[in-house]
Structure 1
Amino acid sequence: MSDLEGRTLDRYKLKQLIGKGGMADVYLGYDPRFERTVAVKVFRRDDEDLLRRFIREARLMANLRHASLMPIYDAGESVLDGLTQYYIVMPFMENGTLRGRIRRQPPLSLQEISNYLTHIADALDYIHKRGIIHRDIKSSNVLLDTEGRCYLSDFGIARTATDATMTTTGGVLGTVDYVAPELFEEGQKANAYSDLYSLGILLFEMVTRRFPFAAESQIALIAMHINNPPPSPRRLVPQISAPTEKVILKALAKRPELRYATATTFAEAFCLSLTPRSGENTTSEVTPRREPVSTDPGDAKTAVKPVALSTLSVRPAPLAGLTESHLLPATNAPFAQQPAGVMQHSPRLRRMTMVALALVMLLAVMAPALFFVLGHHQLRPVTPTPEAPQPVVQIHTAATPTARATMTPTPNITATAHVATATAEQQVKSAKATALAQPTGSTATGDVQTAPTGNALYTDPLNNSGAPATAQANWNESNSCTFQGDGYHVTSRSALVTCMESSHSYRDATISVDMTLLNGQIGGVIFRMSSVPFVGNYAGYLFEVDSQGNYSFSCSSITAGNTVLKEGSIPHGFRSGYHVKNTLQIVMNGSSLSFYINGVFLDQETDTAFAAGTMGFLALSASAVYSHLRIYSIA
């Protein structure tokens, strides 16, 4: 229902779509009667059962009075364009969700975590005493105001002791990352103990900026909740004390009776564990380690095949500003070649790389000819200065000069539909004129006017490895990188997998590609990538997007790991979920890098780490399909 932007529902003016849920959209709105900004939650599904839940949520929230529960201003229904729209009006929380705060820098301090946990626990005990089980405790359901107070929200799947429908079905609802293991057993229903387990996951996420369990499918993740002990929080965050770790692990006990009796008891135990010992400072930031952590699976039996944590990475909270954890294959070779397309960022690999680079420098003194070889593998290329201009785009290929003629130009990349009726030549001229007239950026609505593009360098539907342009590009083909009828499939079980073409090197150009996530976490584009000598790995930029519309832009260096330069949420126009197509666009113009999704401007960053290189696609614990690749030069 993004078409409700700019409309008036009852007396509320809906300005902008700011969030999507399972059964409702949330709009930034304005209430002229009280002259205040509000959040308007509008039901958007054609489902009678979900509508009953939505109305029930409004009534439930209206009867709850607690300082840490999201209040509601109004609720009702209104006819718009002949359709009845149901809505709930709440305060607008300027600081967004706790999930967003966890992902931002700097990390939460232990004192901030303690304050949030105390308020959430107090609200949880309040509803538990009234016979209400929330069933969806998670960081995205906790909202923050400008004063730093937090509010528990979203009672859409909560159940009460008097709700016969919800208590007799016994169905498992909620987000699998947070669901208690006993709820996957037949005949088990959600209760206060299962809410407390979800609160324990939330605490683990706040402290470590990661989830304790990660898997490529929900079935595997369920098995880990049932079988595997959580990883040691102290190995991820060395600053926390042993008593603090003990509190977190007790909250995540597999057996409900071994957890805390109440949420308040849990919060108090955590606060007491923060009592400073000699030399400790509880107000300092908690900085997670970047090393991968693995533990052995437990001995509990289950109908689902257990998944060994030793084969999986510990997943960060979605798009957190941390390095992905990858496990190196067992090898005794000091410079073992890693599997093609898999990026590794372990400390051991960094040490090996430093030794390799030192060796390269020594050999360079003895053999000047080596400079010519390494000139094609610069780890951190230098951006050309204005006094020494470089070619706009460099293409290195072993193909014959006639090979470029086989590339079929596609329409120019624009965010305004009316330009599509113009000819390709007019589009190019318009794009150049726009690029010269004003810097690429956002308008008042955040949409890109026209992405600056020039001559088509490479266009490819990516559905046939034998096509001339595809064969010329020399794409990776393996179990993780396959061409199929609907596009180029990139599949990752746990580590970050990259599938690249190796024939072209792009400096100043635009990249546009359609991405369809089939399952899992994250997909995206890698660009200005270069190979690192001896190590068999790559360095460059990553533009990542998850299924819920969160994005991240990072710089990947073998020696420094993955550094997040920018992350956030797509303001509007993103199609969330799986098996839906979104168009990712990147504009590379010198050190200026701009990012768009479906024509919506996201961000413009300046970085000089990498000036040119090849491109490809990525998947992190996900399967994604890429199609209709279009790359244009910037003239």
Structure 2
Amino acid sequence: MTTTDQVTAAALPRLGLKQKPPRKVLGRLGPWQLLRTLGEGSMTRVYLARPAEAESAPAAYAIKSLRREWWNDPTAIEMQRREAWVGQRVNSPHVVSVLSAGVAAPPHYTVMPMLEGQTAAQLLATGHKPALSAALWIARQAAQGLDAIWQSVGMTHGDVKPANLMVGADGHTTLLDLGFCETPRDARGWAERPVVGTLRYLAPERVTSATTVDVRSDLYSLGATLYELITGRPPHDGQTPAALIQQHRTERPECLRTVAPGTPKPVASLVHRLLSKDPMRRPATPAEVVNELAPLEIECFGLR
């Protein structure tokens, strides 16, 4: 069983947050008592918290607040507000919930339940790939989360990747980090995205104005994530942003069955359709992906 600090650190919803040695934090943030600083990134800090008026209550919450230097930055504030808005409206066991928020004024914070487990990125970093059926199950649950966001608020997630999939000890998977959620109309270009690492999973249409960004862009990112869950490596590995963008736009990833021999053809076919350069060649909706993955999980049970 992981400790409280380990659990919360694993659930940090921003890429790049680094776990720090716990330190006592004095004071409150709204109605919340902040117990420890658990991690921080360039834009946010994450705290272990509990209700301030219930000191006997368990520390079962993670609060993410903007660092002071970002309090006047419109983009950072909008990301916090967007995460709060989406997280309070989408009701799905596969999308992280925002229980409450204070985003009208600094320090612009969101309150989320503490989640047990590790991100898929952390699991892959150990060098141990999940069994094939487990990889498909993780992807199916992520697709269910994407479908819930699309059906509930008409938005794409915008940042699907292993680091944003929290996998519990029982395999339950939760989609994290809702700050990039957007409608197709207000989709942004890659240059405005502060997380360069995201480029490894970015749909090609997100870096060109030639094609509209919609939910199929999330499916490309899901395909890149599933490719890595199965093979242990991302479909493209350019060492610079320009190289990654070029690969996403023009290069086909190596055949999945070459990298991971023994992968059934229907699985490889689905992954490569998800990774199609042309969105019209991908599955049309997350629900369609869910329906394709479910029987494949059963067929692949027991396969590594």
TM-score (norm 2): 0.79
User: 1:95/1:274 Cα in 2 relative to 1: closer, same or farther (>3 Å)?
Assistant: closer
Q: Which residue of 2 aligns with 1:110?
A: 132
Q: Counterpart amino acid of 1:229?
A: R
Structure 2 residue aligned with 1:27, among 47, 51, 76? 47
Cα offset for 1:65? 0.8
List gaps (5 residues or longer) in structure 2.
1-16
Q: Which residue of 1 aligns with 2:74?
A: 48
**Is residue 128 of structure 1 aligned with residue 150 of structure 2?**
yes
**Is residue 63 of structure 1 aligned with residue 89 of structure 2?**
yes
Q: Which residue of 1 aligns with 2:262?
A: 239
The residue correspondences of 1:286-297 to structure 2 (distance < 5 A) are: none
**Is residue 90 of structure 1 aligned with residue 112 of structure 2?**
yes
Whether the 8 Å CA contact 1:93–1:144 is kept in 2: the answer is no
Question: Cα deviation per residue 1:296-327 (whole Å; 9 max; x = unaligned)?
Answer: xxxxxxxxxxxxxxxxxxxxxxxxxxxxxxxx
SS of the residue corresponding to residue 231 of structure 1 reads coil
Whether the 8 Å CA contact 1:13–1:30 is kept in 2: the answer is yes
Cα offset for 1:142? 1.4
State the alpha-carbon separation in 2 of the partners of residues 141 and 188 from structure 1.
25
User: 1:96/1:201 Cα in 2 relative to 1: closer, same or farther (>3 Å)?
Assistant: same
User: 1:96/1:30 Cα in 2 relative to 1: closer, same or farther (>3 Å)?
Assistant: farther
Structure 2 residue aligned with 1:7, among 23, 26, 29? 26
Question: Cα deviation per residue 1:566-603 (whole Å; 9 max; x = unaligned)?
Answer: xxxxxxxxxxxxxxxxxxxxxxxxxxxxxxxxxxxxxx
Whether the 8 Å CA contact 2:273–2:282 is kept in 1: the answer is yes
Whether the 8 Å CA contact 1:241–1:274 is kept in 2: the answer is no
Q: Which residue of 2 aligns with 1:76?
A: 102
Cα offset for 1:77? 6.1
List gaps (5 residues or longer) in structure 1.
286-635
Cα offset for 1:128? 1.5
State the alpha-carbon separation in 2 of the partners of residues 179 and 190 from structure 1.
11
Whichever of the two has the greater Rg, that structure is 1
Q: Which residue of 1 aligns with 2:234?
A: 211
User: 1:192/1:74 Cα in 2 relative to 1: closer, same or farther (>3 Å)?
Assistant: same
User: 1:104/1:144 Cα in 2 relative to 1: closer, same or farther (>3 Å)?
Assistant: same
State the alpha-carbon separation in 2 of the partners of residues 49 and 246 from structure 1.
38
Whether the 8 Å CA contact 1:26–1:41 is kept in 2: the answer is yes
The residue correspondences of 1:419-438 to structure 2 (distance < 5 A) are: none
The residue correspondences of 1:404-553 to structure 2 (distance < 5 A) are: none
Q: Which residue of 2 aligns with 1:171?
A: 189
User: 1:19/1:101 Cα in 2 relative to 1: closer, same or farther (>3 Å)?
Assistant: farther
Q: Which residue of 2 aligns with 1:263?
A: 286
State the alpha-carbon separation in 2 of the partners of residues 19 and 30 from structure 1.
19
The residue correspondences of 1:558-573 to structure 2 (distance < 5 A) are: none
Whether the 8 Å CA contact 2:147–2:287 is kept in 1: the answer is yes
Cα offset for 1:48? 2.5
Structure 1 residue aligned with 2:180, among 147, 157, 174? 157
Greater relative contact order (Cα < 8 A, sep 6+): 2
User: 1:96/1:28 Cα in 2 relative to 1: closer, same or farther (>3 Å)?
Assistant: farther
SS of the residue corresponding to residue 75 of structure 1 reads strand
The residue correspondences of 1:276-291 to structure 2 (distance < 5 A) are: 276=299, 282-285=301-304
Q: Which residue of 2 aligns with 1:293?
A: none
Cα offset for 1:126? 1.8
User: 1:275/1:59 Cα in 2 relative to 1: closer, same or farther (>3 Å)?
Assistant: closer
State the alpha-carbon separation in 2 of the partners of residues 77 and 132 from structure 1.
20
**Is residue 227 of structure 1 aligned with residue 274 of structure 2?**
no
Whether the 8 Å CA contact 1:73–1:90 is kept in 2: the answer is yes
User: 1:120/1:274 Cα in 2 relative to 1: closer, same or farther (>3 Å)?
Assistant: closer
Q: Counterpart amino acid of 1:283?
A: G
User: 1:111/1:13 Cα in 2 relative to 1: closer, same or farther (>3 Å)?
Assistant: same
Cα offset for 1:114? 2.1
State the alpha-carbon separation in 1 of the partners of residues 141 and 279 from structure 2.
22
SS of the residue corresponding to residue 118 of structure 2 reads coil
Question: Cα deviation per residue 1:344-369 (whole Å; 9 max; x = unaligned)?
Answer: xxxxxxxxxxxxxxxxxxxxxxxxxx
Whether the 8 Å CA contact 2:90–2:148 is kept in 1: the answer is no
Whether the 8 Å CA contact 1:5–1:17 is kept in 2: the answer is no
State the alpha-carbon separation in 1 of the partners of residues 298 and 189 from structure 2.
41
Question: Cα deviation per residue 1:507-552 (whole Å; 9 max; x = unaligned)?
Answer: xxxxxxxxxxxxxxxxxxxxxxxxxxxxxxxxxxxxxxxxxxxxxx
Whether the 8 Å CA contact 1:69–1:152 is kept in 2: the answer is yes
Cα offset for 1:19? 4.9
Question: Cα deviation per residue 1:34-78 (whole Å; 9 max; x = unaligned)?
Answer: 423221111122412321221232122111111111012221269
Cα offset for 1:249? 0.8
Q: Counterpart amino acid of 2:48?
A: L
State the alpha-carbon separation in 1 of the partners of residues 23 and 75 from structure 2.
23
State the alpha-carbon separation in 1 of the partners of residues 275 and 24 from structure 2.
42
**Is residue 36 of structure 1 aligned with residue 59 of structure 2?**
yes
User: 1:259/1:187 Cα in 2 relative to 1: closer, same or farther (>3 Å)?
Assistant: closer
Q: How many residues align?
A: 271
Whether the 8 Å CA contact 1:212–1:231 is kept in 2: the answer is yes
Cα offset for 1:273? 4.0
SS of the residue corresponding to residue 18 of structure 1 reads strand
Whether the 8 Å CA contact 1:16–1:29 is kept in 2: the answer is no
Higher strand share: 1
Cα offset for 1:188? 4.0
Cα offset for 1:160? 2.9
State the alpha-carbon separation in 1 of the partners of residues 171 and 33 from structure 2.
27
- Percent identity of the aligned residues? 25
Deviates more, 1:33-42 or 1:218-227: 33-42
Q: Which residue of 2 aligns with 1:614?
A: none
Higher helix share: 2
Cα offset for 1:110? 1.5
State the alpha-carbon separation in 1 of the partners of residues 51 and 225 from structure 2.
33
Q: Counterpart amino acid of 2:87?
A: M
Cα offset for 1:244? 1.5
SS of the residue corresponding to residue 201 of structure 2 reads coil
Whether the 8 Å CA contact 1:193–1:259 is kept in 2: the answer is yes
Whether the 8 Å CA contact 2:204–2:277 is kept in 1: the answer is yes
Q: Counterpart amino acid of 1:50?
A: A
Whether the 8 Å CA contact 2:124–2:229 is kept in 1: the answer is yes
Cα offset for 1:120? 1.1
Q: Which residue of 1 aligns with 2:5?
A: none
Cα offset for 1:146? 4.2
Q: Counterpart amino acid of 1:243?
A: P
